[in-house]
Amino acid sequence: MQRHPIEAADMAAIVDGFGIDWAPLAGRTVCITGAAGFLPAYMVETMLYLNETRALGIRVLALARSRPGFERRFAHHAGRSDLVFIEQDISQPFTLDEQPDYIIHAASQASPKYYSSDPVGTLSANTLGTAALLELARRSHSRGFLYFSSSEVYGQPSRVPTAEGDYGVVDPTNVRACYAESKRMGENMCVSWHHQHGVPVKIVRPFHTYGPRMQLDDGRVYADFVAAILRGENIALKSDGLATRAFCYSADAVAGFWRVLLEGAPGAAYNIGNPDGEISMRALGQLLVGLYPEKGLTLSYVERAAGDNYMPSAVARGCPDIARAAALGWQPRTSLADGFRRTIESYL
């Protein structure tokens, strides 16, 4: 098995198209949690591609909760000596015999459907897991630690486009806050370990990100839209569709994550998103339908089914200010039409 051609092109774009200096990773051991997940898996793929094309000799310690899930995601890399799977729920106590040079903590239940069904599991990875990994970084004298936070830390943002200091209200007594509040706590843990122990932490706050291999059944609106297109079904909108979000193609976002890890300021947080990709859910549905006129699909409005666990956000508009990441030399470059077409065709 080989990478899908679209994924292979994405790897080439990440490695060669953003001017990132990969030399610091040469011969290093990188521990990454949530390794089979949508975005961290693309970071694993980046490292394996670097080994293939630049002979960097990176050793990847890939932590994931499910061996079958990991083996399905990386079936095309079976037998590689540079990819080591470690079965681990990051919210549970663990030991790691090796001392990683870099740690990327990306294990998290990011879908809103889990905020209602498993809030304890959602917050545990972002707090208990973060503390354990920061201690591992401290003991290992790691060269870099990247924490995956979220745009949800802004709550109801005080300004849109939202810069890294534009925090709004999050109600801690609302169960949906299990994600945002635990991401906030994880960030504070990072800066506290940096302040007290000198751990070289960097924080990324991804805004809405999409691309090949995203889970199409995780309950998020844009995933539902892509799944409908693939099934040849009309897109069903379960709201008035007026809320806007800024969507960033995964390869662009992953290049941003690497840029922050390798060149960002210790203790700082960086928005990673595409302000040019801001669009309403209604307009996004219309865009996707319009990409494939031969299918004859339409956009319709339906009520959510009884018992649906999805917990919608109260935020009407989400869009990042990316000036801080841009100052490092990173800019997203994929348009919505190109990105969603690539995403849909990656499943074919």
CB 253 within 8 A of CB 320: no
**Strand, coil or helix: what is 239?**
coil
**Polymer length of the chain:** 348
Residue 67 to residue 274: CA distance in whole angstroms: 33
CA atoms within 13 A of residue 104's CA, in its CB half-sphere: 30
232: its two tokens:
């040849």
CA max distance for the chain: 60
Q: What is the DSSP string of 23-45?
A: GGGTT-EEEEESTTSHHHHHHHH
Residues marked active site are found at 179
CA angle centred on 174, ends 169 and 175, rounded to 5°: 130
Residue 3 neighbours by CB under 8 Å, 6+ apart: 11, 45, 76
In this structure, which amino acid lies at residue 222?
Y
Number of H helices, E strands in the chain: 11, 14
Q: In the block, which residue shows the tokens 């990386």? A: 74
